Amino acid sequence: MANRPEGLPDHIQHYINGDNVDSISGETFDVLEPTTNETYIQCASGDKEDVDRAVKAARKAFDEGPWPRMLPRARARILYKIADEVEKVNAELAAIESFDSGLPIRQAQGQANRAAENFRFFADLIVAQVDDAFRMPGRQVNYVNRKPKGVAGLITPWNTPFMQESWKLAPALASGCTVILKPAEFTPTSASLWPAIFEKAGLPKGAFNMVQGFGETAGDALVKHPDVNLISFTGETTTGQLIYANCAPHMKSMSMELGGKSPAVIFADADFEAALDSTLFGVYSLNGERCTASSRILVERSIYDKFVEAYAERSKKVKVGDPSDPDTEIGALVHPEHYERVMEYVEIGKQEGRLIAGGGRPEGLDKGNYLQATAFADVPRDARIFQEEIFGPVVAITPFDSEEEALELANDVKYGLAAYVWTNDVQRAHNFAHNIESGMVWINSHNVRDLRTPFGGVKASGLGQEGGYRSLDFYSDQQSIHITLGDVHTTRFGATGYAENDLGLGGPSA
């Protein structure tokens, strides 16, 4: 096993109402280190009773505490302090994230800055926020009274876990909600940095709570708890479907960021080298464990052979190794269960397509969840490796002959999260992008986004969109207030009845 990161506690606990606590039952689970799959720490395993305790604390902080009642500027000040505290743990976080999830250290290094930026961004938004007001001169004024929605349940996945957690924590807290975070059970360790960050920044007690544990127990109890007003979930589509059904009895608000099988469509007129670099990085960075990975590459026939050859050559040179080595490009996949699933797809791919690179464990790395950068060419559209999310460093490459065929192939999957289009024809780039069934499209670019833009998927990739003001809308209720300015004109039932020209519909209309 690589060196255990410094500063870790003996075991990982929940954080409820300002205290680090064990499970009421005392239950814990093993957390594995992915280069050896040896247990390196125990984590408290939350259950219904622990979730109940956390919800009570969050409810009390919401109903009676200062956080939802503070002026936006006062909340923003604390959010800025949180961002500063997050940046201070940059090196520690990178070491933990890399050790716990197998992410190459260089790719783990930017995560704290990105997480900090989420807090600063939403702090700025709440201070600058304007809500609608509508005036009917002399008759009525109508305005929106924005209110935090209540207690938010935040359920997050194991890929770049700390950053994903910040993406929910920042807008939920900025909106004035109180929260219960349920981190992913494969990667609970980096979340144990949050309590000290929030305490140092002065977040009131009970506004942030965290219950660790499995989805089927802790996650399920959070979703079904009647005092949790909304659920923000990121994870697999099948889990999302189950949570959707479990939210229904309480009519909870839901936001779902789910799986993807995103196409990169490369036309012959594109900048070949730029498209090659981007599609290699798009599926091999973050170990391929990236929801927006360009895991299907569609290439125009006239450049197909050249592209496949170049892609294979570069894939074979991608450096797979110890996540703590700064030169490593692909580290170890997160967990043996996930590794086994990805390896099954690699074997399926060998029947369905032409293996052009990788396809197995790299030489010299006999244990741990290592897989070579793996590419298949000539993959037909009905292949499982074309249709299903693999979530590892595995890519399917397919040729197309016309723009129509490219669009059909791009859209012929159940997912619709991201898409990438490579062409130098401006008109085609826009028209093609508009017709792709996906929540986000990058033209001649890879996954870089402005935090103000909508983020989310269509079809099986998600429900609702977050990003910028949309995130604040999700965590808020927008109450309409209507005030009459002049005399109240009410049809006098039981007295004079309908007056002339009175439609009997009540107040004024625009």
Q: Which residues are catalytic?
A: 257, 291
Q: Which residue has the tokens 């007001």?
A: 133
Q: Supply the minimum distance, in Å, between the C-beta of residue 252 and ligand NAD.
A: 12
| Two structure tokens written together for 364 | 């010299």
Q: Residues binding ligand NAD: what is the number (CB under 6 A)?
A: 31
Q: Supply the minimum distance, in Å, between the C-beta of residue 257 and ligand NAD.
A: 3
User: Do the Cβ atoms of 171 and 122 come closer than 8 Å?
Assistant: yes
Nearer to ligand NAD, 159 or 287 (CB): 159
Which contiguous run of DSSP H or E holds residue 271?
none
Pick from 270, 227, 273, 224: nearest CA to 246? 224
Regarding 413 and contact with ligand NAD (CB under 6 A), the answer is no
**Alpha carbon 32 to chain centroid distance?**
23
Regarding 189 and contact with ligand NAD (CB under 6 A), the answer is no
Instruction: Give CA–CA dist 229/244, Å, rounded.
Output: 14
Interface of this chain with ligand NAD, residues 99 to 128, rule: CB under 6 A: none
Q: What angle do CA 299, 303, 447 make, to 5 degrees?
A: 45
In the list 23, 35, 111, 159, the residue contacting ligand NAD (rule: CB under 6 A) is 159
* Candidate segments 24-32, 201-209, 218-226, 492-500, binder of ligand NAD by CB under 6 A: 218-226
Residues with Cβ within 8 Å of 327's Cβ and at least 6 positions away in sequence, in order, are: 319, 321
Q: How many residues are present in the chain? A: 510
Regarding 220 and contact with ligand NAD (CB under 6 A), the answer is yes
* Candidate segments 76-84, 172-180, 214-222, 468-476, binder of ligand NAD by CB under 6 A: 214-222
The residue of the chain with the least Cβ separation from ligand NAD equals: 215
Please count the other Cβ atoms lying within 10 Å of the Cβ belonging to residue 430. 13
Nearer to ligand NAD, 270 or 418 (CB): 418
User: How many Cα atoms within 13 Å fall on the side-chain side of residue 174?
Assistant: 31
Q: Supply the minimum distance, in Å, between the C-beta of residue 2 and ligand NAD.
A: 23
Instruction: Give CA–CA dist 350/353, Å, rounded.
Output: 6
Interface of this chain with ligand NAD, residues 268 to 297, rule: CB under 6 A: 291
Interface of this chain with ligand NAD, residues 300 to 339, rule: CB under 6 A: none
Nearer to ligand NAD, 292 or 423 (CB): 292
Give the pairing type, strands 462-463 and 253-257. antiparallel
Q: Which residues of the shown chain bind ligand NAD in the complex (CB under 6 A)?
A: 155-159, 164, 182, 184-185, 214-216, 219-220, 223, 234-236, 239, 242-243, 257-260, 291, 389, 391, 417, 457, 462
